[in-house]
């Protein structure tokens, strides 16, 4: 928003007699005016001053002020504008206001602009007063003068009013004024601001409408917003179109990132790689390296994924990149490498999740000794049930039935993890403790619905010598297609 200036050279019509022996003040004025319009300021100054000496006239003083204003002689401009005012040329109040405003004397600018408004109803003075009050954060006064200018037909004031109402949280009046500026006067900045307003109100349809209007008029910064809005309404094609425009026309890095994410979501990994790589080459940040690592992992380019995850770890994305690298190693059965990263993370010995992941990494690498060690640490620090479950499995695979049973029982009895009841029953069965086995098989059947428990209940009751109950469960198991149950029934006949 630029302050306005009225050149306002006053033209007085007078007969010019080049042959007269002595020129009148009017003739001298007109000669000065001729030179002024020809931009011959030296001659214009000479004739204006001679005219002023003959007759102290407000119009002559005003034009001298304009001349000195043009030649940037501030002191002389101020002097003659003041003379013009003293001699009744009230238009000079606006010129004084503008002169003071340019030279950062806001108080005198306000004083003279107000005189201009009062005495001449000067719309530009109203507008510039609005600007000064806006700059000095006197919003109510700014609104007052912008509204005065708007009421006099000043089209630019509506956008300013919209901005002020937006800042004060009055969205209804902001919308009203932006719409007048955008719809009636085709103000592109107001259209952009209206787009921002509708975006805040989650009115994506109208936000898109006004951003597109602003963009068509050449306003920058809206392509990204349009891309984002179309992204939010799931119009991927339009989102892609505007993100690309933001990248190509405005070199918008955020738009490039969102475009890469858009391509990643739609499975266009090569395109995603292109934009993530572009972002990385511009700004080698941890985030850009992390994004590249993720894309390369999805493309199964594991060496490149590892490279960029490591770079991200050293560039401010240590935790996220470390976890991604850990999962990458686990996916490739490189558990030992994953474990080494985890063991070097801050606070590892106090963090049950980290301890669990170290154990899991060793477990997948078939290093059962280290796996057991870290599962036990995770259980000690955080009572992690998933660590108990994995440890129970590990012990079972090592034929350490009592140790395995210990953790399965804790899971079922203390933590209500009834999905582990079946395995608990199996171990009791293998340890020749049918009564205990029956207890857990019944939990598995009745609380989890595990039909495999039917056969094992039949076997356990048979081992206790209760053939009738054994047959009951074996028949149910056989009815579900269990061939072992049917064979056992046949042998009992």
Q: What is the 3-state secondary structure (H, E, C) of 245-260?
A: HHHHHHCCHHHHHHHH
CA distance 412 to 389: 10
pLDDT in tens, 372-388: 999 999 999 998 999 99
- Residue 23 is encoded by which pair of tokens? 């020129």
pLDDT at 12 over 70: no
How many other C-beta atoms are found inside a 10 Å radius of the C-beta of residue 341? 20
Is residue 190 over pLDDT 70?
A: yes
**Lowest mean per-residue pLDDT among 187-191, 279-283, 310-314, 473-477:** 279-283
Task: Tell me how far apart the alpha carbons of residues 181 and 169 are, in angstroms, rounded to a whole number.
Answer: 19
Specify the pLDDT at position 101.
Answer: 93
> Regarding predicted confidence, which is higher, 318 or 181?
181
**How far is it, in rounded angstroms, from Cα 34 to Cα 149?**
34
Core vs surface per residue 187-204: b (16+ CB within 10 A) or e: bbbbbbbbbbbbbeeeeb
Q: Could you read off the pLDDT of 418-469 as tens digits, one per residue? A: 999 999 999 999 999 999 999 999 999 999 999 999 999 999 999 999 999 9
pTM to 2 decimal places: 0.59
**Residues 145, 129 contacting (CB under 8 angstroms):** yes
Greater confidence (315 vs 173) lies with 173
Please tell me the distance from the alpha carbon of residue 129 to that of residue 15, in angstroms, as a whole number: 40
State residue 10 phi and psi, 5-degree precision. Answer: -85, 130
Radius of gyration of the chain (CA): 43
7 confidence band (pLDDT: 50, 70, 90): very low
Q: How many Å apart are CA 28 and CA 19, to the nearest integer? A: 13
Averaged over 72-93, what is the pLDDT? 96
The token pair that represents 480 in the structure block: 């579900």
Cα gap 454→20, rounded to integer Å: 133
In whole angstroms, give the CA distance from residue 373 to residue 356: 10
Q: Are 39 and 45 in contact (CB under 8 A)?
A: no
At which residue do the structure tokens 């994924």 appear?
305
Q: Residue 269 in contact with residue 288, Cβ under 8 Å?
A: no
Q: Is 366 left (phi over 0), alpha (psi -120 to 50) or beta?
A: left
Q: For residue 17, what pLDDT band results from cuts at 50, 70 and 90?
A: very low
Mean pLDDT for the chain overall: 91
Query: Is residue 20 scored above 80 in pLDDT?
Result: no
Place of tokens 């999740």: 353
- State pLDDT tens for residues 215-235: 888 888 888 989 999 998 899
Q: How confident is residue 48, by pLDDT bands cut at 50, 70 and 90?
A: very high
pLDDT of residue 318: 84
Which residues are CB-contacts of 147 (< 8 A; sequence separation ≥ 6)? Answer: 157, 161
pLDDT at 159 over 80: yes
What is the pLDDT, as a whole number, of residue 322? Answer: 87
286-320 residues labelled b (16+ CB within 10 A) or e (exposed): bbbbbbbbbbbbeeebeebbbebbbbbbebebeeb
Residue 466's φ and ψ, nearest 5 degrees, are -95, 80
Contact (Cβ atoms closer than 8 angstroms) between residue 459 and residue 488:
yes
25 within 8 A of 51, measured Cβ to Cβ: yes
Q: Bigger pLDDT: 443 or 354?
A: 443
Phi/psi region, residue 121 (left: phi>0; alpha: psi -120 to 50; beta: rest), is left
Nearest to 159 by CA among 119, 131, 198, 125: 131
Residues whose CB falls within 8 Å of the CB of residue 397, separated by 6 or more in sequence, listed in order: none
Separation between Cα atoms, residue 209 and residue 212, nearest integer Å? 5
């Amino acid at each position: 928003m630029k302050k306005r200036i009225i050149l306002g050279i006053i033209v007085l019509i007078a007969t010019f007699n080049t042959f007269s022996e002595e020129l009148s003040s009017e003739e001298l004025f007109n000669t000065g005016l001729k030179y002024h319009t020809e931009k011959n300021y030296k001659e214009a100054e000479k004739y204006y001053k001679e005219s002023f000496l003959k007759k102290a006239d407000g119009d002559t003083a005003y034009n001298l002020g304009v001349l000195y204003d043009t030649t940037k002689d501030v002191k002389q401009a101020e002097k003659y504008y003041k003379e013009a005012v003293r001699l009744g040329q009230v238009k000079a109040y606006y010129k004084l206001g503008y002169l003071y405003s340019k030279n950062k004397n806001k108080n005198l600018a306000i004083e003279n602009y107000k005189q201009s408004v009062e005495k001449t109803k000067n719309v530009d003075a109203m507008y510039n007063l609005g600007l000064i009050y806006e700059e000095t954060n006197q919003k109510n006064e700014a609104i007052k003068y912008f509204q005065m200018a708007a009421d006099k037909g000043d089209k630019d004031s509506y956008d300013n009013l919209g901005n002020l109402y937006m800042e004060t949280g009055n969205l209804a009046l902001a919308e009203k004024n932006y719409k007048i500026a955008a719809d009636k006067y085709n103000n592109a900045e107001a259209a952009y601001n209206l787009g921002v307003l509708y975006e805040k109100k989650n009115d994506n349809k109208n936000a898109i409408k006004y951003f597109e209007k602003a963009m068509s008029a050449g306003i920058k910064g809206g392509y990204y917003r349009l891309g984002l809005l179309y992204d939010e309404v799931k119009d991927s094609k339009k989102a892609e179109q505007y993100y690309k425009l933001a990248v190509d026309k405005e070199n918008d890095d955020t738009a490039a990132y969102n475009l890469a994410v858009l391509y990643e979501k739609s499975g266009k990994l090569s395109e995603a790689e292109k934009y993530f790589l572009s972002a990385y080459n511009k700004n080698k940040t941890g985030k850009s390296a992390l994004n590249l690592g993720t894309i390369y992992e999805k493309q199964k380019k594991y060496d490149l994924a590892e490279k960029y995850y490591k770079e991200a770890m050293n560039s401010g994305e240590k935790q996220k990149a470390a976890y991604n690298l850990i999962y990458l190693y686990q996916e490739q059965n490189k558990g030992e490498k994953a474990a080494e990263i985890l063991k070097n993370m801050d606070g590892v010995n106090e963090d049950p999740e980290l301890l669990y992941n170290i154990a899991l990494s060793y477990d997948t690498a078939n290093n059962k000794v280290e796996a057991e060690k870290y599962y036990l640490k995770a259980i000690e620090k955080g009572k992690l049930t998933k660590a108990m479950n994995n440890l129970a499995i590990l012990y079972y695979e090592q034929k350490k039935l009592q140790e395995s049973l210990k953790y399965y029982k804790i899971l079922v009895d203390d933590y209500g993890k009834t999905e582990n009841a079946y395995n608990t029953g199996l171990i009791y069965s293998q340890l020749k403790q049918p009564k205990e086995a029956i207890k857990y098989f019944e939990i598995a059947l009745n609380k989890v619905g595990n039909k495999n428990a039917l056969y094992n209940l039949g076997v356990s009751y048979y081992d206790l010598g209760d053939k009738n109950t054994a047959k009951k469960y074996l028949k149910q198991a056989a009815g579900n297609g269990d061939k072992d149950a049917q064979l056992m029934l046949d042998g009992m006949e």
